[in-house]
Amino acid sequence: LSMDDRDGFIWLDGKVVPWRDSRMHVLTHALHYGSAVFEGERIYDGRVFRLAAHSQRLINSARLLDYEIPWTRQQIEEATRAVVKANGLQSGYVRPIAWRGSEVMGVSAIGTTVHLAIAPWAQEGRLSVQARDAGINVTMAKYRRPSADFAPGHAKVAGLYLICGIEKDKALKAGFDDALMLDWKGDLAESTGANIFLVIDGTLVTPTPENFLDGITRRAVMSLARKRGWSVEERTVKPQELSRASEVFLCGTAAEIVPVGSVDGHNYQAGPVARTLMADFHKLVRSPDCEGFGESTHLAPPVDRAA
Ligand code: PMP
């Protein structure tokens, strides 16, 4: 089913509109200059996991690009709930996106209107249960995540997905499921759409997100592991350490938690650490307070943190 030709509703600039009517002009700034910011969220039992954290990260991403979304976090949360309900979804994926409009054409976005759309649809975890059992097969990407003074890496901004898209397509065409990306220094960063964990000598190790997205799922996974009394290290991870790991897994909103079965032919077992965390995660996302900031309080503005 083509994404632009479906039944259902999208929240667009304050109104819930029929799916096929949510269109924009070809001279939209974001289309030409990559200035859209977005989120990926997941609906479990009719509720959006970490809705507050995702909505705040959307606002923060726009601010990192020097623009303000003309809706408060609470309004974005209400709009999300309303459109999920309008579509009658109990489970699925939500894509909120904010972008600079079409009033002016040129590199500068000054003078353009900021728009916001929220589109939810039915979508199970990206990967089949079978792929989850065996683990996915990944390769190493050529392009690297840029340094913090080269791009606003903590913003979930359309422009920064250019290299992710190229690497993901290349991996799929070569028969892999995804690609692992290094950062500008040559250290392990993340995959094209998820964060990464390695299990080394019984410790969970994950790269410090200095120049890439500090995933909301990543934070949840660290917290679940610590609750089990497991040691978790956030540190620089060299790609060579992949050969020492007993398990490797990815995590993100779309991927949830997915074991890696191989990296360029080096095989891993979809092991007990990932399996236990998958079960814990399954429970967490269905807990009654799952819509809040949870363990992602780093995304909340100080005023909200005190409240
Ligand atoms: N890195 C990238 C590049 C991503 O696209 C995502 C998915 N949003 C993540 C990491 C994981 O982030 P989250 O857990 O917040 O979905």
Which amino acid residue places its CA nearest to atom 10 of ligand 1? 194
How many structural domains comprise the chain?
Answer: 2
Sort strands 92-100 and 136-140 into parallel, antiparallel or unpaired.
Answer: unpaired
Whether residues 59 and 165 share a domain: the answer is no
Ligand 1 centroid to Cα of residue 306, in Å, is 27
Give the chain's mean pLDDT: 94
User: In this structure, are 136 and 244 located in the same domain?
Assistant: yes
255 CA distance to ligand 1 middle (Å):
9
191 in a structural domain: yes
For residue 197, is pLDDT > 70?
Answer: yes
Phi and psi for 197 in degrees, rounded to 5?
A: -125, 145
Ligand 1 neighbours by CB, cut-off 6 Å: 40, 164, 190, 193-195, 213, 215-218, 252-253
Domain shared by 142 and 249, yes or no: yes
Q: Phi/psi class of residue 14: alpha, beta or left (left: φ > 0; alpha: ψ in -120 to 50)?
A: left
Residue 53 CA: nearest ligand 1 atom is 15
Task: Note the ipTM here.
Answer: 0.99
Categorize the per-residue pLDDT at 126 as very low, low, confident or very high, splitting at 50, 70 and 90: low
Q: Which of 41, 195, 216, 222 to mutate to test the pocket of ligand 1 (most atoms within 8 A of CB)?
A: 195
Q: Summarize pLDDT for 56-109 with one digit per residue, the tens.
A: 999 999 999 999 999 999 999 999 999 999 999 999 999 999 999 999 999 999
Q: Do 142 and 222 lie in a common domain? A: yes
Contacts of 129 (CB under 8 A, 6+ apart): none
Task: Name which of 44-53, 119-128, 221-230, 232-241 the model is least confident about.
Answer: 119-128
Q: Which of 156, 168, 170, 173 is catalytic?
A: 156
User: Of all protein residues, whose CA lies closest to atom 13 belonging to ligand 1?
Assistant: 215
Interval between CA 77 and ligand 1 midpoint (Å): 19
Question: Which residue is closest in CA terms to ligand 1's atom 5?
Answer: 193
Strand ranges for 89-244 from DSSP E? 92-100, 114-121, 136-140, 178-182, 188-191, 195-200, 203-207, 232-235
Range of the domain at 48: 9-124
> In this structure, what CATH number is given to the domain that contains residue 70?
3.30.470.10
Q: Specify whether 156 is catalytic.
A: yes
Domain's final residue, options 124, 142, 166: 124
